[in-house]
Chain A
Amino acid sequence: MTTVSMRGLTKRYGGTTAIADLTARIGVGVTGFLGPNGAGKTTLLRCLATALAPDSGRLVAYGLDTAVAAERTALRRRLGYLPQDPGLYPNFKTAELLDYVAVLKELTDTGRRRAEVRRVLAEVGLTDRATVRVRKLSGGMRQRLALAQALLGDPELLILDEPTVGLDPEQRMLFRALVSRLGHTRTVLLSTHQTEDVGALCERVLVMRAGGIVFDGTPGELAAQAEGRVWVSAEPPSDAHVYWRNADGRYRTLGPRPIGGEPGLLSIEDGYLTLLGAEAAAAGSGDAERVS
């Protein structure tokens, strides 16, 4: 079922186009946005979170048109947003900050609001930090606090811009457990640089590049983009290839098949890099020296 739909979404900053004519339908579940810096991920997520108005195009979420003020407010009651730069007030205590955001989210009943603050603190594992000031929290804790505020009010639409930045492996695992649980009933949109996050969490991946969507499919389909491009060989390939030595002492190549190369296991990262043509750029005119 489609919960979020965008059509012809465009946003320019001065002369540069951040996102151009994006059209997509997204449903319940976890959808990941992958892409290099400047691809337009953050701009798109800010539009979806109603923090930014697109220059043109239509954006409807849960039947609410973000261009209409009243509907935008109604949508804001149902969304949680973790921005890339949350800017949490440093002098607030953890629970106090959440309480404040909960007030802004119209949780006016004091008892209910406190219960909700405790719930989200527990979700992100910050219960014992409730009375610590934000400026004394570590980077990872701040990121978890920023995530906690997005969870306030149990929103149906969760927009998370680079949620795993600053998290250590254990916290990242807990984050994945939390998000995949939410993904059963909620629409979760997240952007990331981490291809492992996408593989572990997302049912669907959208790869963005230069303001457009260049891939839309499952993580498996993304990995399959590298079909016929991943090789392992006993001898180092020629200098025209980008390769590295695996733990087993063999050489792994992404690109044209080197001499003696056998097909290797495909990863999401391979698919992503293939899609962006990154290996071609790195290897220069690799195609001209293809050996097969």
Chain B
Amino acid sequence: MRWHIDGDMFAAYQRGDLTPSRMMAVDTHLQACATCRAAVPQDPGWLDASWSAITEMLDTPRPRPAERLLTLVGVPHHRVRILVATPALRWSWLGATVSVLAFGIAAALAGQSGAHMTLLLYLVFAPILPVLAVATVYGPPVDPMHEITSVTPVAGPALVLWRSSAVVGLSVVIGMLGAAFVPGPGWWAVAWLLPALLLCVSTLALATVLPLIRAAAVFGGAWLVVVGGAAVAGSPVRPLMFGPLAQAGYLAAAVVAGVVLSARRRRLDPGEMR
């Protein structure tokens, strides 16, 4: 190195008093000369503050895509953390939901003989999946950290409802995405959503009387018996159970169940303290 930056030049650089070429020369020289880099005037207090800010950033977990999305939509950060950490939201559940939906869509697209049966199976089973997830949002068998979460102040009804919202919300998103793949009106790709919503809300409403898992079994079982039975009996299941009239009925019933749930939510018994 033929030259080094002296104190005057550092000061002039900071004041902006150097000619453009000398500014550039200082810049490039600094990049190449470790001696001059070390000679840059330092402020130890600033250095420490900068380092502690960096460690703080490193220790802060980076938000996952789902968290960023929810934050963008305006959900407060602490709620986002609860929603995305829902233990029932496992890959196995997601996989089941997506594949059931994919079967239905594939059947509709193929439109061949046998497709009718696949479609029927899909419409019968798709609404059960969110109920299964709701049944397992809370409690020791599915939540390994239940012993810790169950003694926090949000434990109980609040946590059950938040986690159930996460499950139902994700089901709706998946259903909507599925509908986008279907040609035509695609109404039946989302036809399972209202029954699913009704089953989930009713399950939670019944969980104010029965333990959550049993409540889920009651409604999940009832759905399978009624719709499955109708299918086996050869009734026209699609128009009967998923037609506009039936959908309006599901919506109305879901609203009623929602009112019951909201009135009785403090009695929601997730099986805690047993």
Contacts and interface: CB of A to CB of B under 8 A. Distances in A.
Interface of A: 46, 49-53, 69, 73-74, 76-77, 79, 81, 83, 85-89, 92-93, 95-96, 99-101, 103-108, 110, 113-114, 117-118, 121, 127, 130-131, 146, 149
B86 to A, nearest CB: 11
Interface string B145-183: 111111111111001000000000000000000000000
A271 B76 CA distance: 55
Given A86-B148, A87-B143, A95-B59, 12 more contacts: A53-B273, A86-B147, A87-B144, A96-B61, A100-B85, A101-B148, A103-B81, A104-B154, A105-B152, A107-B78, A114-B59, A121-B59
What 4 A-B pairs come out closest when comparing CB atoms? A87-B144, A104-B152, A130-B59, A96-B61
A171 B159 CA distance: 34
B82 A89 contact: no
Given A87-B147, A118-B59, A104 B273 contact: no
B273 A99 contact: no
A85 B147 contact: yes
A110 to B, nearest CB: 5
Contacts of A96: 61
Interface string B50-79: 000001101111000000000000001110
Given A114-B56, A118-B59, A131-B58, A106 B153 contact: yes
A104 B76 CA distance: 14
A89 B144 contact: yes
Contacts of A49: 151
A53 B59 contact: no
6 contacts: A53-B274, A92-B85, A99-B81, A103-B82, A118-B59, A131-B58
A108 B77 CA distance: 8
B76 A99 contact: no
A107 B154 CA distance: 11
Contacts of B22: none
B26 to A, nearest CB: 37
A113 B147 contact: no
B266 interface: yes
B77 A110 contact: yes
Main secondary structure of the interface of B (DSSP, over half): loop
A53 B59 CA distance: 37
Contact of B78 (A69, A74, A110): A110
B59 A86 contact: no
A114 B60 contact: yes
A46 B140 CA distance: 14
Contacts of A105: 152-153
Given A100-B85, A101-B152, A113-B78, A89 B145 contact: yes
Contact of A106 (B77, B146, B154, B273): B154
B153 A73 contact: yes
A46 B147 CA distance: 9
B234 to A, nearest CB: 47
Contacts of B148: 81, 83, 86-88, 101, 146, 149
Contacts of B76: 108
A158 to B, nearest CB: 12
A289 to B, nearest CB: 48
A86 B147 CA distance: 7
Given A52-B273, A93-B61, A103-B82, A76 B77 contact: no
Contacts of B152: 76, 101, 104-106
Contacts of B146: 87
B144 A77 contact: no
A76 B147 contact: no
A110 B118 CA distance: 48
Contacts of A86: 145, 147-148
B112 to A, nearest CB: 42
Nearest to A78: B153
A130 B154 contact: no
A44 B147 CA distance: 14
Contacts of B81: 99-100, 103
Given A95-B61, A99-B61, A76 B155 contact: yes
Contacts of B274: 52-53
B44 to A, nearest CB: 22
B78 A118 contact: no
B153 A118 contact: no
Contacts of B59: 95, 114, 117-118, 121, 127, 130-131
A100 B78 CA distance: 8
B60 A87 contact: no
Nearest to A109: B78
